[in-house]
C-alpha cells in the first residue's frame, strides 16, 4: 500500500494462460517456463509441444523449460500424451526409470505418480507424511469393486486414479480393442469369480505304430496329466460328433465316443475348422480354415 493505494510489487513476473485449441496459438513469444496443463485432455498436445520448443530455445540455445502434466485423460486427447510418455528420449523429456508396471518390470518412461503412493487421507499417512501404500491400494481396489456393475464408470475411475500408466491411457491411446468389454470380463473374473477357466497341466506323448519311433510312424498324440507339466490345456479338443446333445447322464466324452462307435460305427477323427493355432490370436488365416 502506497499512500493508501494498492500498487504492484515483487518480481513483476507474469503468468499468461492460452486456450490452445489450435496448435498455431503456441507461437510468437519467449518464456522461461511453459506449462502444458491437463495434457491428457489436449487433442493437439503433440504439435503444440513441438512448436512450443521455439518459445524456450533460440538457435539451439535453451533458456526455458517445458513442463507437461495432468491426470487421467479424455477419450480424444490421449494419443499424443501416451506417445510422449513412453518415448521420453524422442521428445527430449527427462526420463524416469521405474517399475510402476503390472508385472513389476523396470521401464524408462516420463515421470509417473501412482495414486496409491500419494494418498493423504487421514489414517493413511504416518506422522512424517509418508503414505501407507498397502492400505491406500486396498482403498482403491475396494472403490473399483464398488463400480464393478458399471464397467464404463470403472474405466473412467481407473484412468483418473491410476495405479499403472496403462490404466491412465486406457480410455484411448493406441488400444484399438473394446475397453469396456475387456473391463467387463476382468470384473467377472476378478470380482464375481465367473467365467474362470480351469487350466489342466500335463505332457504330450506321441503314439507310434512300430518301435522305431520315427516321425513317419506317428499315429497320434496323447495328453498325460502332470502337475508340473509344461503343457497347459484350457479345453480339450471337441470332436465334431461330440457336440450333439445326446449324451447319457454322467457319461464322459470318452464313454460317449465308445458308445457311438459301437452303436453307429462313427469314427471320431474330424475337427474341421474348430481349431486354429498361430502367433496372432485374432488372425484366422486367409481361408478361415484349420486345414
Please report, in tens digits, the pLDDT of each residue of the chain (291 residues total): 999 999 999 998 888 888 888 888 888 889 999 999 888 888 889 999 999 999 999 988 999 999 998 876 566 666 788 889 989 999 999 999 999 988 888 999 999 999 999 888 889 999 898 999 999 999 999 998 898 888 888 888 888 899 998 888 876 655 566 766 777 777 677 666 666 778 899 999 998 988 888 888 888 888 899 999 999 988 777 665 544 456 676 777 677 767 766 776 555 555 656 666 655 555 555 555 544
Predicted pLDDT of residue 221: 85
pLDDT value for 239? 62
Would you state the pLDDT for residue 246? 63
Contact (Cβ atoms closer than 8 angstroms) between residue 88 and residue 96: yes
- Which of these three, 190, 218, 236, is where a domain ends? 190
- Three-state DSSP at 118 gives coil
**What per-residue confidence (pLDDT) applies to 220?**
83
Residue 12 belongs to some domain of the structure: no
List the domain range (segments joined by +) for residue 240: 200-264
Return the pLDDT at 131.
Answer: 92
- Does residue 123 share a domain with residue 164? yes
Question: Domain for residue 279, yes or no?
Answer: no
Residue 62, pLDDT score: 92
Instruction: Answer yes or no: are the C-beta atoms of 26 and 52 closer than 8 Å.
Output: yes
pLDDT at 242: 44
Q: How far apart are CA 223 and CA 253, in angstroms?
A: 15
38 and 60 share a domain?
A: yes
pLDDT, residue 243, reads 44
Q: How many domains does the chain have?
A: 3
Q: Kindly state whether residues 29 and 99 are assigned to the same domain.
A: yes
| Statement to judge: residues 107 and 28 lie in one domain | yes
Which of 111, 131, 161 terminates a domain? The answer is: 111
* Distance from C-alpha of 251 to C-alpha of 10, rounded to nearest angstrom: 88
Report whether 84 contacts 46 (CB < 8 A).
yes
Residue appearing with cell numbers 512450443: 52
Residue that the C-alpha cell 511453459 belongs to: 34
Q: Please answer whether residues 189 and 196 qualify as being in contact, where contact means their C-beta atoms are separated by less than 8 angstroms.
A: yes
Longest distance between any two alpha carbons in the chain, whole Å: 112
Please give the pLDDT value at position 77.
61
Helix ranges (H only) for 2-99 are 45-51, 53-56, 79-86
User: Does the CA dihedral 101-105-108-111 come out positive or negative?
Assistant: positive
- Residue 73 counted as domain residue: yes
Examine residue 2 and state whether it is found in any structural domain, yes or no: no
155 and 179 belong to one structural domain? yes
| Distance in Å from the first CA to the final CA of the chain | 88
Q: Are 151 and 160 in contact (CB under 8 A)?
A: no
My answer on whether 183 and 144 are in the same domain is: yes
Amino acid at each position: 500500500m502506497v499512500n493508501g493505494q494498492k500498487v504492484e510489487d515483487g518480481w513483476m513476473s507474469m503468468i499468461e494462460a492460452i486456450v490452445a485449441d489450435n496448435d498455431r496459438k503456441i507461437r510468437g513469444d519467449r518464456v522461461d517456463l511453459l506449462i502444458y496443463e491437463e495434457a491428457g485432455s489436449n487433442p493437439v498436445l503433440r504439435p503444440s509441444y513441438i512448436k512450443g520448443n521455439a518459445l524456450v530455445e533460440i538457435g539451439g540455445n535453451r533458456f526455458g523449460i517445458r513442463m507437461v502434466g495432468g491426470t487421467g485423460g479424455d477419450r480424444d486427447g490421449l494419443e499424443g500424451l501416451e506417445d510422449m510418455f513412453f518415448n521420453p528420449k524422442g521428445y527430449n523429456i527427462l526420463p524416469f526409470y521405474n517399475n510402476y508396471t503390472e508385472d513389476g518390470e523396470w521401464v524408462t518412461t516420463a515421470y509417473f505418480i501412482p495414486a496409491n503412493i500419494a494418498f493423504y487421507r487421514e489414517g493413511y499417512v504416518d506422522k512424517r507424511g509418508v503414505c501407507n501404500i498397502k492400505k491406500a491400494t486396498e482403498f482403491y481396489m475396494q472403490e473399483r469393486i464398488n463400480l464393478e456393475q458399471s464397467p464404463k464408470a470403472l474405466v473412467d475411475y481407473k484412468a483418473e486414479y491410476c495405479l499403472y500408466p496403462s490404466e491412465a491411457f486406457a480410455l484411448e491411446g493406441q488400444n484399438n480393442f473394446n475397453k469396456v468389454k475387456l473391463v467387463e470380463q476382468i470384473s467377472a473374473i476378478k470380482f464375481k469369480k465367473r467365467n474362470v477357466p480351469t487350466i489342466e497341466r500335463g505332457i504330450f506323448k506321441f503314439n507310434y505304430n512300430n518301435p522305431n519311433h520315427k516321425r513317419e510312424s506317428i499315429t497320434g498324440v496323447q495328453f498325460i496329466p502332470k502337475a508340473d507339466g509344461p503343457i497347459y490345456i484350457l479345453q480339450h479338443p471337441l470332436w465334431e460328433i461330440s457336440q450333439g446333445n445326446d449324451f447319457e447322464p454322467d457319461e464322459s466324452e470318452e464313454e460317449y465316443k465308445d458308445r457311438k462307435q459301437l452303436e453307429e460305427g462313427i469314427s471320431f477323427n474330424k475337427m474341421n475348422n474348430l481349431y486354429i493355432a498361430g502367433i496372432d490370436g485374432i488372425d484366422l488365416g486367409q481361408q478361415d480354415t484349420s486345414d
